[in-house]
A and B are shown apart, each in its own frame.
Chain A
Amino acid sequence: MVKFRIRRYNGKKSYWQTFEVPAKRGMTVLEALYYIKENYDSSLAFRASCRMGICGSCAMKINDRPRLACETQVLTLGNTVKVEPLDNFKVIKDLITEFDEFFEKHKAVKPYLIRKNDNYAEPKELLQTPKELNEYYLFTLCIKCGACYSVCPAAATLDEYLGPAAMTAAYRFCADSRDEGQRERYQIASSPSGVWRCHLAMECSEVCPKNVEPAKAVQLLRRKTAFSILKSLLGW
């Protein structure tokens, strides 16, 4: 039996509730949450979908660290498991947090390939060598689970801060050999809520469940943004 302490919220008040779950080898925290929902308290609310660590739904704070519930084995956590919603996000109900702004920030960095000759009707294959692909591939793996944002101290004090995930998306496209929209994105990145707000706590890279290294992406984006500003100042 493993004790699950869950921080719940019903729209009015926040409280802790404890459940005992029979755990065996192979059981994940997500399965335990389903066990609780289906056997003890069906009002428990959490997000989940793919249960294989690729959809990004189930990031939550498990024993004080943001993790994907579906990827976390219960037996690696000891006899008591503490489950809480992510920090830096507004809680809606129990473990469910508000993600609208998070996705808005992602959208704000123009996270799509920008090309002058965008031909929808008759597209032509663009070449890209494996080496060029590897320049940005790591940063395409972001599942937008929000773990990075939840531990970012810069995001904790500035709601408008774009945050690690959005800036990683910006860098991912800037580093793509097919992209022609760097200039627009550097402008967004150098705004008051952009790259200069990052103060290198680098906790985002520590907690990213997909090892996307958002701190690295932010720093590379910052370097590119700085050079771009320098260039425009010098009139190159």
Chain B
Amino acid sequence: MEHDIVIVGAGIAGMRAAIAAAEKSRKLSIALIAKTYPIRCHSVCAEGGTAAVLREGDSFDLHAWDTVKGSDFLADQDAVEFFVRECPVEIIRLENWGCPWSRNEDGTIAQRPFGGHSFNRATYAKDRTGFHEVHTLYERMLMYDNIEIFPEYFITNLAIEDGRVQGVSAIHLKTGYMEFFQAKAVIFATGGAGRLYGFTTYSHQVTGDGLAIAYRNGIPLKDMEFFQFHPTGLIPSGILMTEGCRGEGGYLLNKNGERFMKKYAPEKMEVAPRDVVSRAMWTEIMEGRGFEGEYGPYIALDLRHLGEEKIEERLPLIRDAAIKFAGVDPVEEPIPVKPVAHYTMGGIDTNVRCETAVKGFFVAGECACVSIHGANRLGSNSTAECLVFGRVAGEVAAEYALNAEQGKISAEFRQKEEKRIFDDLLGKNGDESPYQIKKELNETMDNNMWIFREEKGLKEAVKKIQELKERYRNVEINDKSRGFNTDLTSAIEIGYMLDLAEVVAIGALKRKESRGAHYRLDYPKRDDENWLKHTIAYYTPEGPKFDYKPVVITKWEPVERKY
């Protein structure tokens, strides 16, 4: 198949990119490939809001400063300044396309407070912000005849030949056969790698496929050791209880009934940034002040004082989920929560124009690391990032595609790729179960690469992951059939995850400081002298090779971070 632009991933970033490219030129043929139907993407799980400067009293500098401070000064400030200026127009565009934003009485778009933001700038649609953004983008996308959607195509590789991108290979799940998409430009918007962890807010499908494929093709990953832990994951499933709960006035309580955040962030209390709140909660739990529950210790998220009316009006999904998945009605009882793996700050190394080391290959959204989130992302900045950089990627790729030659995937690449998947992986016999490997990987990540890290645990993790990689060579896929072989795709995903876990673990072991979400018990201070720099990881068959890159500072010199 031949297209001008191939976009992989149909979440907010991917669909926004498709629309942007289609708007740039109706002549471009655009293929949107995803392993699920577009509206089944993980972006629908975003709940709380999307940050944008819309109202009097707020300013771009303030939003940028909040973001930089939240990032623990690891964000590239030129990128942040660009980003905050582009957010508002994206909110209004979505509004014009039908997004049911929550409204003020006068009909203007409403905004709510969010963690780490010093102005109420989280634009929201009740507590289903991501859901409505995804559906709005999907529906809008249907208006463009030059966007063709390929749902349920599982991507296996990126074809890079002659120093440029030529296309991608993907398994058509329905038939089980491999298809090759040749393109002038390829955009990856494949999301993060959250399923590395066992206790996570992520959808089952978020396995870091795009990250791993780019990495294996020599495109470096940046800042992968920074993994965000969201303070409030519902027990036992890990389902996200939005930061909006606290934004709307919810309390976090330990078993003594104290609002313990006053010890850790006296000014911002519960709406401090996520890394601060998560560490505080974990400290409370470790020091024995958590509630005891069937699934281990937990912290209470108390919404009762908000009253039924406000909860129904602002947080209906939260109430529904708490009742269905934990048997707790937040109107009557506090919700049992604990910190949960939530966001991949790192990603494929890119710049403000979404370009990468390979010509014609662009990245956007969570799989990219521009970096505007640095060491810790502020809540409501991720959907905003997807909208802003999705658009940029679409436009830049469109400009590029209008003047580029059609990509050609060589016969050699095709044969090699089919052999790799169908003969070497599917056809192979072995005695390891991929699911057992995944289970052990999840346990390792949850135990050794959680909120508090230290050398011994990280070293163990690296060793364990390398052992798992070794064992993975010997996996056997029981289902040898072709159509909808989810056994095969799961095994491929687990292979991707192992590579990424190794980068996370070694990166974390190397970074001997505490910054944002990466907290080392053995190096509890931020070290700007040695570590104010981005980690860059390159693939080698023996394991990742590391390099570092300076952080761009424009206006704000690093200072102590207090909330």
CB distance from B271 to the nearest CB of A (A): 23
Stretch of A50-58, A216-224, A227-235 contacting B (4+ beta carbons < 8 Å): A50-58
**Using Cβ atoms and an 8 Å threshold, which residues of chain B touch A113?**
96-98, 139-140
List the A residue with the shortest CB-CB distance to B130. A54
- Which of B304-312, B462-470, B476-484, B525-533 sits within the interface? B476-484
Shortest Cβ distance from A90 into chain B, in angstroms? Answer: 11
A100 to B236, CA, bound (A): 34
- Contact indicator B203/A112 (Cβ below 8 Å): no
Q: Is A92 an interface residue (CB 8 A)?
A: yes
Tell me which of A14-22, A123-131, A150-158, A191-199 binds B.
A123-131
Name the one of B135, B295, B481 contacting A140, with C-beta atoms under 8 angstroms: B135
Contact call B100/A43, Cβ cutoff below 8 A: no
Query: Which of B38-46, B114-122, B223-231, B417-425 has 4 or more CB atoms under 8 Å from chain A?
Result: B38-46
Choose the segment among B87-95, B272-280, B362-370, B508-516 that binds chain A (4+ C-beta atoms closer than 8 Å). B87-95
Q: What are the residues of chain B within 8 A of A144 when measuring CB–CB?
A: 37, 39
Q: Which residues of B lie under 8 Å from residue A179 when comparing CB positions? A: 98
Which residues does chain A contribute within 8 Å of B521, judged by CB atoms?
A: none
For the complex, give the distance between the alpha carbons of A132 and B151 in Å: 34
A28 to B236 CA separation, bound complex (whole angstroms):
11
- Beta-carbon contacts of B482-510 to A below 8 Å, as 1s and 0s? 01111100100000000000000000000
Tell me, rounded to whole Å, the shortest Cβ–Cβ distance linking B472 to chain A.
15
Asked if B481 contacts A112 (CB within 8 A), the reply is no
B325: which of A37, A52, A99, A125 is its contact (CB, 8 Å)?
A: A52
Would A129 and B140 count as touching, CB distance under 8 A? no
Roughly how many angstroms separate A130 CA and B107 CA in the complex, as a whole number? 7
Given contacts A43-B481, A48-B204, whether A124 and B92 have CB atoms under 8 Å apart is yes
Number of B positions contacting A (CB below 8 A): 64
A120 on the interface (CB 8 Å rule)?
yes
Question: B213 within 8 Å of A by Cβ?
Answer: no
- Asked whether A42 and B92 contact (CB < 8 A) given A50-B203, A57-B36, A71-B324, the answer is no
Chain B residues within an 8 Å CB radius of A169: 139
Chain B residue nearest to A127 (CB atoms) is: B107
Nearest chain A CB to B533's CB is how many angstroms away? Answer: 36
Asked if residues B106 and A52 are in contact (CB atoms below 8 Å), the reply is no
> In the docked arrangement, what's the CA distance between A107 and B144, Å?
12
**B108: A residues at CB distance < 8 A:** 125, 127
Chain B, range 74-116, C-beta contacts under 8 Å to A: 89, 92-93, 95-98, 100, 102-109
Is A13 in the interface zone, CB < 8 Å from B?
Answer: no
- What is the predominant secondary structure among interface residues of chain A facing chain B? loop
Could you say which of B93, B109, B325 has the most chain A C-beta atoms within 10 Å of its C-beta? B325
A173, B103: Cβ atoms under 8 Å?
no
Contact B483 A127 (CB under 8 A): no
> Once the chains are docked, how many angstroms separate the CA of A179 from the CA of B99?
12
Contacting A at CB under 8 A, from B345-391, are none
User: Does A38 sit at the interface, judged by CB under 8 A?
Assistant: yes
A71 CB, min distance to chain B CBs, angstroms: 5
What is the CA–CA distance of A161 and B477 in the complex, to the nearest angstrom?
40
Distance between B392 CB and nearest chain A CB, rounded to angstroms: 15
Given the complex of chains A and B, what is the CA–CA distance between A59 and B80 in angstroms? 41
Q: Are B203 and A55 in contact (CB under 8 A)?
A: yes
Q: Is A178 an interface residue (CB 8 A)?
A: yes
A23 is an interface residue with CB less than 8 A from chain B: no
B residues in contact with A96, CB < 8 Å = 484
Question: B95, A123: Cβ atoms under 8 Å?
Answer: yes
Other-chain residue from A11, A47, A93, A112 in contact with B140 (beta carbon distance below 8 A): A112
Residue among B23, B107, B139, B239 making CB contact with A52, cutoff 8 Å: B239
Contact assessment for B435 and A45 in the assembled complex, using a CB-CB cutoff below 8 Å: no
Contact string against B for A residues 154-178, beta-carbon threshold 8 Å, 1 for contact and 0 otherwise: 0000000000000001000100101
Q: Are A50 and B105 in contact, CB atoms less than 8 angstroms apart?
A: no
B236 and A26 within 8 A (CB): yes
B44: chain A residues at CB < 8 Å are 50, 54-55
List residues of A whose CB falls within 8 A of some B CB. 10-11, 25-26, 28, 37-39, 41-43, 45-57, 71, 73, 92-94, 96, 99-100, 103, 107, 110-113, 115, 118-120, 123-130, 132-133, 136-137, 140-141, 143-144, 169, 173, 176, 178-179
Given A56-B39, A100-B151, A123-B96, 15 further pairs, Cβ under 8 A: A26-B237, A39-B435, A42-B479, A43-B479, A49-B205, A52-B45, A57-B36, A57-B40, A94-B484, A107-B142, A111-B142, A113-B140, A128-B107, A140-B135, A169-B139
The 3 tightest CB contacts between A and B, nearest first, are A127-B107, A43-B479, A113-B98
* A-B pairs with beta carbons under 8 Å apart, 15 shown: A26-B295, A42-B477, A42-B490, A45-B484, A49-B205, A50-B203, A54-B44, A56-B39, A71-B324, A112-B97, A119-B96, A120-B93, A125-B108, A129-B105, A144-B37
